[in-house]
Structure 1
């Protein structure tokens, strides 16, 4: 009896393992009636086969649902938290371009206007105006904005430099030179127009007539790096390179490639503005007083070259060019036309310039309204 029970148990075990791995086995031929085992439970081959199929279905369900559960987990982790605060958008700084342009137009109209022509200022200034000067007595031949500052949101202090010419009753004109005028400008509209509002519509208004102010103090620049004077000697190889390059650059008579370093991309002025070019002086940042031999490859030399260029009509024009030269294969080549002459290291201006950006106190003292009461 025990032996038969052991055989049935071994057969059931083999059947369960085979069903779990999808194999087929021969069922035992001997299928006696179900008998309770020692624990009191009644089992059968059909019941064990059902359990194995249920187990196999559960395994496949986990396999199939794996990617779905992974995708749900990714989406839930990447979704923004409900309570997370959104970063605040950076405020757009107000642009001075609109108020500055309006102030420049206003100053030009103001200089041209006069008694009986006060209405010409109405597009710029709506206050009461009574001018004593005769219209057309002064004009601005040129003008430009040299300083602008937002003294409070949407309210600007703008300083305009104007080249003023006076005209007398006999038609004679006298140039008075550059004069400086400060004016308060209110701006409405978006920040791009100098205002503080929303929308695309911009508007400007002057809050007073212009106030003439002092010119900014002249600034003496720091020393340049060109401490060696080469003159215009044709015996110096670096001077010869500068002469040939500038003649090609300004007259277009030869190709620039023969004077430039490999990889340098420079184009001559087109159409050529000059017929001839004469070098009148050369300074560089080398230490030797005489430089007949070209140094080792890769040596850099900075030059400041003075030239007299003659146009097609025979009129000479004086020009200055800052060049960077580099040595290669026993010759100097132009590596670049510099944006500005090279300054000596740690060479600040000798005196700080007088600022042309007015302070609020100066703005009020100039005759313009106080920023707090435009």
Structure 2
């Protein structure tokens, strides 16, 4: 037996009534402002609506300000923490260039000064000075600083080597040789404790002190133990001769004597008109070897030459060369910075002859450079 169907219209009306009932249930009931709620607080529909709006405004304000708050938090955390120790920059070593140059100028002025020209020392030394020698009795033709030591912050001990010449009343000159003077120099200003180039002021603490020459040395043994002489029959000697002639006179191209890829240029303008090899030493173990060994073999040479300048005057020179073998011949690979020292070779001191009292102290070391 079939159940009778409910009309669609009746069902629809019933659904609408149910929705209306729900809306009536959800609608808040008005409460009198004078009637307290269960918690004992007095509320009203208007107050609840205002609180709801304030809550919604607060939520949206937090959402909108989120990026700003995040950035502020990042900045505050990335900055240095309060109370943290800041890194201290490393101290820059004091430069000796300024005190050394000041001392060199001071010694030159001191040697030149004399009675009546003591004021020439005022830029260097402010003490009272009375010189008994005539001005210009001594001069320094050359000078250079050979030692500089900071004895305490801002205070330096500088030793100057000066090639001194004496001049008599008749206008004659006599070279006294290289003499050594030690100067105490105080520095004040940025360059006294900082990098080179900063401005500073300097002052000598006394007149110069003449001191003894530094100890002379005999160099340790060189690595060239085989003497080739100056024989043109040796292929390595012939290569050295041709290369140095081209290097010093510019009469031929260096490429004829150098290894591929070697970048060497002759001296320009050419200082000499002719070159003569007077001796060659190398580190080859075979003294009588004449044949060029296998490709890639390395040979170190020390070559002595006599070069004639444009006026014909002979000049003695030494060159340390490195040669390599290729295709049955020797080629120059490099002009070495200095002669090679034998492994374990150390210099030894040379005893100095005792000079009579009052005699000038002369140098046993290379002459100083021009001031």
Q: In the alignment, what sits opposite 2:78?
A: 79
Q: In the alignment, what sits opposite 1:216?
A: 214
Shift in alpha-carbon separation, 1:304–1:76, aligned structure 2, 3 A: same
Shift in alpha-carbon separation, 1:79–1:196, aligned structure 2, 3 A: closer
- 1:1-374 map, 5 Å: 32=15, 79-83=78-82, 84-191=84-191, 194-195=192-193, 201-351=199-349
TM-score scaled by structure 1?
A: 0.72
The question of whether the paired residues in 2 share the 8 Å contact of 1:153 and 1:196 is answered with: no
How far did 1:246 drift? 0.5
How many residues get paired?
297
Shift in alpha-carbon separation, 1:76–1:278, aligned structure 2, 3 A: same
Shift in alpha-carbon separation, 1:74–1:239, aligned structure 2, 3 A: farther
3-state DSSP class of the match of 2:217?
A: coil
The question of whether the paired residues in 1 share the 8 Å contact of 2:95 and 2:194 is answered with: no
Cα deviation, 1:51-74, whole Å, max 9, x if unaligned, reads xxxxxxxxxxxxxx9xx79x9699
3-state DSSP class of the match of 1:238?
A: helix
Partner Cα distance (2:105, 2:267) in 1 = 34
Structure 1 residues without counterparts, runs of 5 or longer: 1-28, 37-41, 43-64, 355-374
3-state DSSP class of the match of 2:340?
A: coil
How far did 1:238 drift? 0.4
How far did 1:115 drift? 1.6
Cα deviation, 1:161-220, whole Å, max 9, x if unaligned, reads 0011111122221111111000111111113xx3579x9542111111000011101111
The question of whether the paired residues in 2 share the 8 Å contact of 1:145 and 1:161 is answered with: yes
Shift in alpha-carbon separation, 1:201–1:333, aligned structure 2, 3 A: closer
How far did 1:353 drift? 10
Partner Cα distance (1:182, 1:284) in 2 = 42
Shift in alpha-carbon separation, 1:184–1:279, aligned structure 2, 3 A: same
Partner Cα distance (1:285, 1:98) in 2 = 44
Structure 1 stretches (4+) deviating beyond 4 angstroms?
A: 29-36, 71-78
Partner Cα distance (1:75, 1:248) in 2 = 70
Cα deviation, 1:344-373, whole Å, max 9, x if unaligned, reads 01111124999xxxxxxxxxxxxxxxxxxx
Cα deviation, 1:81-109, whole Å, max 9, x if unaligned, reads 42443321111111111111111111111
The question of whether the paired residues in 1 share the 8 Å contact of 2:93 and 2:193 is answered with: no
Partner Cα distance (2:344, 2:75) in 1 = 58
Partner Cα distance (2:147, 2:140) in 1 = 18
Give the aligned CA root-mean-square deviation in angstroms: 3.1
User: Which structure has the greater CA radius of gyration?
Assistant: 2
How far did 1:155 drift? 1.1
3-state DSSP class of the match of 1:99?
A: helix
TM-score scaled by structure 2?
A: 0.73
Shift in alpha-carbon separation, 1:293–1:35, aligned structure 2, 3 A: farther
